Amino acid sequence: MSGLFITLEGGDGSGKSTQSARLTGWLTDAGHAVLVTREPGGTSLGLELRDIVLHRRGEIAPRAEALLYAADRAHHIATVVRPALERGEIVVQDRYIDSSVAYQGAGRVLDGGEVRGISMWATENLLPDLTILLDLHEADGRDRMAERTKYDRLEAEADDFHGRVRAGYLALAAAEPGRFLVLDARLPIDDLAAAIRARVESLLAG
C-alpha cells in the first residue's frame, strides 16, 4: 500500500478535530490527496452503528459494545480507508484501534489484548503509520466539555473512567513508541500543529 495512514487519539475534548483540520489544511495546500474520516461513523452503515453505540438508551453489554465498534471499523477500513491508501492518498482519521483498547479495554472490564485482537481481525491487521495522541489530564477534558450542553452516553461517564482511558492510551504509546507521537493537549494550538507537521513531514520525506 502506497498511501499514509495517520490517526488521532485522545480523550473527549482533547482537540483532535482542531488538529485534524490544521493537518489536513497544510497537506492539501502542499498538493497531497487527503481523505479525512473518523470512527465511529465513517460510512453510512457506520452512522447507524454510531447512533446505537453512542445514543441508545439502556445498557449495552461490554462485549456487544466492543463488537459494534469493531463492526463499524471492519466496514470502514474495507470500503473507505484501504481503497484510499491503495490510491496513494493520505488518510487522516479521528480515532481507531487505540480508542477501542483504551475505552473498551482499559476503561471497562474487557481485556485490552483481546479487544485489540478483535480489531486486528476486523481490519486484516491494518495499523497506522503514525498515531498522534493528544494527552489530556482528565480534569481539563471535563472543563472543555462543560462548555458543551449535551453529553453523549460515553461523555457522561464518571471521571475515573476517563482517568483509566488516559492511562490506557499512555500505556499503548509506551509499548509502541515508533508509531506514536504523544503531545500535551494543553499546549497552544499552533505549537501542537507545528509538532504534528514536523513529524508528518519527516514521514513523507522518509
Q: Which helix (H) or strand (E) holds 120?
A: helix 112-122
Q: Segment contacting ligand TYD (CB under 6 A): 55-63, 79-87, 149-157, 180-188?
A: 149-157
Dist CA 96 CA 8 (whole Å):
8
Task: Select from 5, 69, 169, 180 the one that contacts ligand TYD (CB under 6 A).
Answer: 69
Dist CA 198 CA 137 (whole Å):
24
Dist CA 127 CA 56 (whole Å):
29
Show the cell assigned to 18: 482542531
Q: Which helix (H) or strand (E) holds 95?
A: none
- Rule CB under 6 A: say whether 141 interacts with ligand TYD: no
* Near ligand TYD in 21-60, by CB under 6 A: 39-40, 54
* Near ligand TYD in 83-122, by CB under 6 A: 94-95, 99-100, 103-104
- Which CB atom, from 32 or from 167, has the smaller least distance to ligand TYD? 167
Q: What are phi and psi of 181, to 5 degrees?
A: -115, 115
**In the bound complex, what is the minimum distance in angstroms from residue 152's beta carbon to ligand TYD?**
6
* Near ligand TYD in 153-172, by CB under 6 A: 154-155
**In the bound complex, what is the minimum distance in angstroms from residue 165's beta carbon to ligand TYD?**
8
For 15-35, give one letter per residue: b (16+ CB within 10 A) or e.
Answer: bbeebbebbbeebeeeebebb
Count of residues that bind ligand TYD according to CB under 6 A: 15
Residues binding ligand TYD (CB under 6 A):
12, 16, 39-40, 54, 69, 94-95, 99-100, 103-104, 152, 154-155
